[in-house]
Amino acid sequence: MDTPKIYFPNLNGLRFIAAFLVIIHHIEQIKSIFKLENYWNVVPFIGVIGKLGVVLLEGGIGGVSFANILLVASVGRPCNDKH
């Protein structure tokens, strides 16, 4: 039995923010490794934003997906169902 794919378009913003934080973290980390001008040791927040992005991806998006799975199991329909 094919179940329809469930897509949450409002999570795109959260995905973008999380990916952007991880990318900035990696860019500054690589610049630090290659001894280029960077903010790695200047701005303490730069070292933390990569972890924050991962937490947003795992906790936020994963939590919504898991909650939807539980909702389908208990009620029988996804939370974005129009019925």
- For residues 28 and 18, what is the distance between their CA atoms, to the nearest angstrom? 16
Could you read off the pLDDT of 4-24 as tens digits, one per residue?
677 778 888 888 999 999 999
User: Could you read off the pLDDT of 21-58 as tens digits, one per residue?
Assistant: 999 999 999 999 999 999 988 998 998 999 999 998 88
60 to 12, 13, 16, 17, 63: CA distances (angstroms):
12, 11, 12, 11, 5
Estimate the crossing angle of helix 12-33 against helix 44-55, to 10 degrees.
140
